[in-house]
Chain A
Amino acid sequence: MVKKTVEGSFAIAEAIKNCEPDVVACYPITSSSHIAEGLAQFYADGEIKEYIRTEQEFSSISAIVGASAAGSRAVSATSSQGLALMHEVVYAAAGMRVPIVMAIGNRALSAPLNIWDDWQDSIAERDSGWIQIYCENAQEAIDTAPQAFKIAEKVMLPVMFCIDGFYITHSVETFEVPGMEEIRKFLPKFNPKLKLDPKNPVSLGVYAMPTHYQMFREDVHRDAAASLKVVKQVHDQYGKTFGRTYGDGLVEGYKLKDARFILVSMASVCGNIKEAVDALRQKGMKVGLLRIRSYRPFPYGQVAKALAKAKAVAVLEKSYNLGGKHPLYSDVIGSFVDEKKRPVISSIVGGLGGKDVTVRDCEGMLKKLAKGKHFEVWW
């Protein structure tokens, strides 16, 4: 483990490199460009075996799907329009059960064109069967990279770990990046049972008639939902080896024990919410935060349990469902379908396209939700 003061993206690139990927394929795009650049530098220095400079993102993901199908550990990084361009292959990757990994520097989708942070790019891919982990800070992203490969290769589903663009990708901090030797002990070599191999030829991702197609989707759904256990296990294992944990790996509670009013959110804004919670606690308000780390699979049970004693809850998300109920809000509501009682649950959409959500904003949200009445607002 080496301590380094660098930009988040470069530290994340180093963590990915230390997972010894066989193939990297990237087309740099703001806000994840520096992850792609960092990986390219490692390739230039001979520390990564293969780096494919593709002409656009559809090719990047296609290349790593092919590499993974041939038995390689394969990875890419992208953002926003790049991920949107990958959309077709995002579904194919999950359906083909190739355990590729992508680092997503979250960024708003056009139009209007915007290069700053929100989650809609990756949230738009939530239904595909990919596992999605949202990291609060770059240290968590560094620690999540080896976990992502391990989870993916265990459940044979692709994983994206998401980091807020600029806030996290471009901030310089001091990080601990686990070394290659250490990661090797945690992350075994990728050795798929079935792969493209001239000695035992197969076609992967073949077509399915109406009699079988739905069965494959059902199978991915079942495995994705069941992977909650693996996401947690791998997180706990990592914690034991490297000494850093993030809640229980699925959700993280902050001052929840006696909290009556809870803000639910994900990713870096949770740092600000924690400060707001501290400030209001000093004034005697029983407030808390529930941070979702594993968005897909969604930990419905854990969320219901964590919020069971609350009087009122609000869900703050940098994502949306225009003309409908917003995604994270819907999932939190969905956590209570089997419960007889549930708190008042309100919805806040904020921070889109890099709109700042300050500590003061978070205090305002907590105060508003502490009034106990239902609301749905854009902050």
Chain B
Amino acid sequence: MIIPHAKVGSSLKNKTGGWRSQKPIFNPELCKKCGLCQLHCPENCISGVEMDKKVEERSVAKTDYDFCKGCGICAKVCPFGAIKMVEEEK
């Protein structure tokens, strides 16, 4: 009997970044640290915008390209045009 299951942390080994055909480029100059992209990212791989802190104490948004699938949702939701999708070069 095999019960199909995955142990905690196993998804860390599955680097989904390789699936990407487009890549989000975060522009720290335009980022207002609102955290919208971080909230919407389906991979939960955007970090930096510590929402429990005041805006001036937060860092700008950045993503982890090991896991970012390039879906483009972050670029769509950013109200300040701080994220641009560019073709992935391999």
Contacts and interface: CB of A to CB of B under 8 A. Distances in A.
Contacts, number: 34
A202 B4 contact: no
A95 B8 CA distance: 20
What is the predominant secondary structure among interface residues of chain B facing chain A? loop
A215 B10 CA distance: 20
B12 interface: no
Contacts of A95: 4
A239 interface: no
A202 B1 contact: no
Contacts of A202: 5-8
B4 A206 contact: yes
Contacts of B5: 194, 202-206
Contacts of A208: 4
Interface residues on B, range: under 10
A203 B10 CA distance: 10
Q: Top 5 closest A-B pairs, CB basis?
A: A201-B8, A206-B6, A203-B6, A97-B3, A202-B5
22 contacts: A95-B4, A96-B3, A97-B1, A97-B4, A156-B1, A194-B5, A201-B8, A202-B6, A202-B7, A202-B8, A203-B5, A203-B6, A203-B10, A204-B5, A205-B5, A206-B4, A208-B4, A215-B2, A216-B2, A216-B4, A219-B1, A219-B2
Interface of A: 95-97, 155-156, 194, 201-206, 208, 215-216, 219, 223
Given A97-B4, A202-B8, A216-B2, 5 more contacts: A95-B4, A202-B7, A206-B4, A219-B1, A223-B1
